[in-house]
Structure 1
Amino acid sequence: MRMKSQYVFVIAVLAVVALYFIVRSLFGLGHHEGAQAKPTAPALPSVQAQMVPEVVRQYDVVVRGRTQATRSVVVRSETAGVVAAAPVLQGSTVQAGQVLCRLSVDARQAALDQARAGLKSMQLQQQGSVELASRGFRSQTQVLQTQANLDAATAAVRQGEIALAQVNIKAPFAGVFDHRDAEVGTYLSPGQSCGTMIELNPLLVVGDVPETQAASLKVGAPATARLVSGQVLNGRIRYVAHDADPQTRTYHLEVAIANPRLDVRSGLSAEVHIGAGSGPAHLMPVSAMVLDSAGRQGVRYVLPDDRVAFAPVTVVEETPAGVWVTGLRGPVRLIVVGQSFVADGQKVRVALAR
């Protein structure tokens, strides 16, 4: 009797399965797979770190500011009159006392001459009164009256001299006559402007210091200002405000810088570096900075037992090579790759940063 094809297929499959188990038991394949199935310990996270040494460094406070004239004064007329001469061009360097605007003299010289003539008359009267009094022909009261008249004549002369001098509107200090407001023919009333004077030597560099850094700045501390043109100027702090701006919570700062040739103008942008002492610091790439769960700025580093630690730091200076920070002590293995993917206290596998 011939067997059906379905039965032949089933018998063949069973034979193959039986043969598999026989061969597996003979060659110990089951034991080998069991050994491979044993659970393994989880791999440690990898980070890259670099050794950062501690160095003693001069701390600099960096302030964005601008140059400013030490003084800026609007020079005004003390009397009324028409401008008769304007001997100084605006933008010119002038000395203290130099005439900027000259008003018309008008009748002032005549009034002064009249006062001087009256003074001479009073002097003669006073001398005659004294002589007559010595002979008994004048009383002491009459002598005192002539002396009073003499004093009044003297005051009138002085008044005339002042009125005549006021036609010359002069520079109150040495500097630059920066802007002219009155030309020849302009009528000036008392208090009206002839022009503006600015003092550029010494020159000021002014800025505003954050409240976190104001305490480290002292009057007399050295400062270096780099202008937008690239020019570098050296000076010293002359003023640090004691009261903060209520809007910005910053303190006004003034640095005095010698400018004998008056070649540095007012209003130039400047970056001011001010020495604020020295102390331990670490130089590191800015990319190594992270924030902890409390929002503090800091870095993560590796302890001797290869566990991660966090330290808050303060940036004291930014340079092309990196940032200088304080808050660490001694040399540290700073995590520069992978610092954002590990937690404090976690053990890691450390590789040297390339």
Structure 2
Amino acid sequence: MRLKPQYMFVIALVGALAIYFLVRSVFGGHPSTAEAKPTAAAKAANELPSVQVVAVPEAVRESQVVLRGRTESARTVVVRSETAGVVAQAPAREGSFVRAGTVLCRLSVDARQATLDQARAQLRSRQLQRQAAQELAQKGYRSQTQVLEAQAALDLAQAGVRQAEIALNQVNIRAPFSGVFDKRDAEIGTYLAPGQPCGTMIELNPLLVVGDVPETEAARLRVGSPATARLVDGRMLSGQVRYVAQDADPQTRTYHIEVAVQNPSMQVRSGLSAEVRVGAGAGPAHLVPISALVLDTAGRQGVRYLVGDRVAFAPVTIQEETPQGVWVSGLAGPVRVITVGQSYVADGQKVRVASAR
């Protein structure tokens, strides 16, 4: 029986394909080991966690300690009476600026002027007696002892005059320094005993900006360090640290700090809230995205970065937050900080760096 031509063509095609696959399986059908290895390596690389990083250079920056504070008068003194008497005049206006020596309250003079006049008359009498004794002693009519007694009486009279002058001057209760007469405690007609208050004086130039720093920051502060304060209304004050406490508050474990600033116009009042920034010296710092900050298993705040292709963690201290990122200390040299995926990798883990989208 003779096959049709179309059947013969199909049989020939099938035979050719069979011979092709047989030859390929014998001479080159299995991939070589060299070809298989890259495929496995690529597969393993694709299974590594993917992160994105940013290169952050090291910069030298003036570090600062930031704290909340308030303005405070440099001195606050309750001015008190040194003698007894009724307030006869109150020349200083409450809330006004007064210079040192200005009379705040004036007591009635009473008999103090008469006492002074009597003491001065006694002094003139003693002066004459001493002069007469000296002249008579020169003529031999007085002994040297009598001259010394006259001199002693003269000295006593001079002390009496001084005492009467002080008593008379004490009716004027004066400002001990230049400042604001902030509060009046005694009005005209008020009887003041020794030690009772006339009013309160406050000194606003220089002005103090005070606050409390945590024990972790106190060691960085020094007397004389530059400082700035931003008030609630936006005004800026500049000054220097004048005091840092050496003993912590037992309740808050913080240290009190005082910054002295100039306030010549005395427009800045006492008691205003302020943000205080105190210079703590220059040092290395890095500007990292705020989103890169993470917590490790011990609860420390820091950043994760790459050493080669493995993850490392470094605890950092925040120096300042800016619109561009956060200035931190605790890193060394240029660092490749992980910015995406840092919360899903662990220290020492090998990762794959993906390009940023």
TM-score class, shorter? 0.7 to 0.9
Q: Amino acid of the residue matched to residue 331 of structure 2?
A: L
For residues 143-162 of structure 1, the C-alpha deviation after alignment (integer angstroms, 9 at most, x for no partner) is 22221211111111111100
Distance 1:206 1:148 in 2: 56
Distance 1:240 1:102 in 2: 40
Q: Amino acid of the residue matched to residue 313 of structure 2?
A: F
Distance 2:112 2:205 in 1: 37
Within 5 A, what are the aligned runs for 1:30-45?
A: 41=44, 43-45=47-49
For residues 261-313 of structure 1, the C-alpha deviation after alignment (integer angstroms, 9 at most, x for no partner) is 11111111111111111122111122211122222221111222x22111121
Q: Amino acid of the residue matched to residue 307 of structure 1?
A: R
Structure 1 position 243 matched with structure 2 position 235: no
| % identical equivalent positions | 73
Shift of residue 243 of structure 1? 2.1
Shift of residue 351 of structure 1? 2.1
For residues 140-195 of structure 1, the C-alpha deviation after alignment (integer angstroms, 9 at most, x for no partner) is 22222221211111111111100100000000000110100001111100000000
- Normalising by structure 2, we get a TM-score of 0.85
- Normalising by structure 1, we get a TM-score of 0.86
Within 5 A, what are the aligned runs for 1:1-354?
A: 41=44, 43-304=47-308, 306-354=309-357
Range with bigger deviation, 163-172 or 216-225: 216-225
Check whether the contact 1:225–1:271 (CA below 8 A) recurs between aligned residues.
yes
Distance 2:241 2:79 in 1: 29
Give the total of aligned pairs: 320
Check whether the contact 1:336–1:353 (CA below 8 A) recurs between aligned residues.
no
Shift of residue 322 of structure 1? 2.1
Check whether the contact 1:50–1:352 (CA below 8 A) recurs between aligned residues.
no
Shift of residue 330 of structure 1? 2.2
Q: Amino acid of the residue matched to residue 83 of structure 1?
A: V
Distance 1:334 1:290 in 2: 11
Q: Amino acid of the residue matched to residue 139 of structure 1?
A: S
Once superposed, what is the RMSD of the aligned Cα atoms?
Answer: 2.1
Distance 1:319 1:76 in 2: 51
Distance 1:326 1:353 in 2: 26
Shift of residue 352 of structure 1? 3.5
Check whether the contact 1:99–1:171 (CA below 8 A) recurs between aligned residues.
yes
